[in-house]
């Protein structure tokens, strides 16, 4: 069976950056399982896996626009300490859920804490990066009606 929309796909992968440093891998773990066509994985990887079958191995390079997006400098801002009222000890690396200007949820990471304020970054940590995947297709099956309805694998 070929990978197409509404298939449940199981893959093993290793993700590296442009310098070959490993960012993430499913080695020594369970494979990644996703519902094809439901946007469960980044678009650049999903489109490259379409049509593959069990046993296929593929190297895929994903540009930022088809991965986690371009890095947006405007998503970095320094806020006054008062904006974090009720939290006594803010440290670099802490993650917070914030409300975006459009009313949606956005995750931000603390990048700097100084007397002038707290600098946060709303970019995904892989935004602006070229991503290299080594992928092996482990399993492909037809999704159940419930999985398709819910948009994810059960």
What CATH number is attached to the domain comprising 93?
2.40.10.330
Q: Is residue 135 assigned to a domain?
A: yes
Q: Is residue 134 assigned to a domain?
A: yes
Residue 107 in this model has a pLDDT that exceeds 80: yes
Which residue range forms the structural domain that includes residue 18? 7-68+126-150
Residue 86 in this model has a pLDDT that exceeds 90: no
Regarding whether 130 and 117 lie in a shared domain, the answer is no
Tell me how many domains the chain contains: 2
Regarding whether 102 and 28 lie in a shared domain, the answer is no
- The DSSP secondary-structure symbol of 92 reads T
Regarding whether 50 and 11 lie in a shared domain, the answer is yes
Among 12-21, 26-35, 101-110, 144-153, the least confident range = 101-110
Predicted TM-score of the model (pTM): 0.84
- The DSSP secondary-structure symbol of 1 reads -
Regarding whether 40 and 14 lie in a shared domain, the answer is yes
Cα–Cα distance for residue pair 133/47, rounded to 1 Å: 13
Label residue 93 left, alpha or beta by phi (over 0 means left) and psi (-120 to 50 means alpha): left
Label residue 128 left, alpha or beta by phi (over 0 means left) and psi (-120 to 50 means alpha): left
């Amino acid at each position: 069976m070929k990978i197409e929309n509404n298939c449940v796909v199981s893959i093993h992968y290793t993700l590296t950056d442009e310098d070959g440093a490993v960012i993430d891998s499913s080695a020594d773990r369970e494979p990644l399982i996703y519902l094809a066509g439901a946007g469960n994985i980044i678009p650049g990887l999903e489109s490259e896996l379409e049509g593959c079958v069990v046993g296929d191995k593929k190297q895929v390079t994903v540009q930022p626009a088809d991965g986690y997006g371009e890095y947006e400098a405007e998503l970095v801002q320094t806020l006054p300490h008062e904006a974090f009222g009720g939290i006594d000890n803010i440290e670099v690396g802490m993650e917070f859920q914030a409300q975006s200007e459009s009313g949606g949820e956005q995750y931000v990471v603390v990048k700097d804490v100084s007397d002038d304020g707290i600098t946060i970054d709303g970019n995904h940590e892989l935004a602006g990066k070229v991503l290299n995947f080594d992928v092996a297709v482990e399993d492909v099956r037809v999704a159940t009606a419930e999985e398709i309805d819910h948009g994810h694998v059960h």
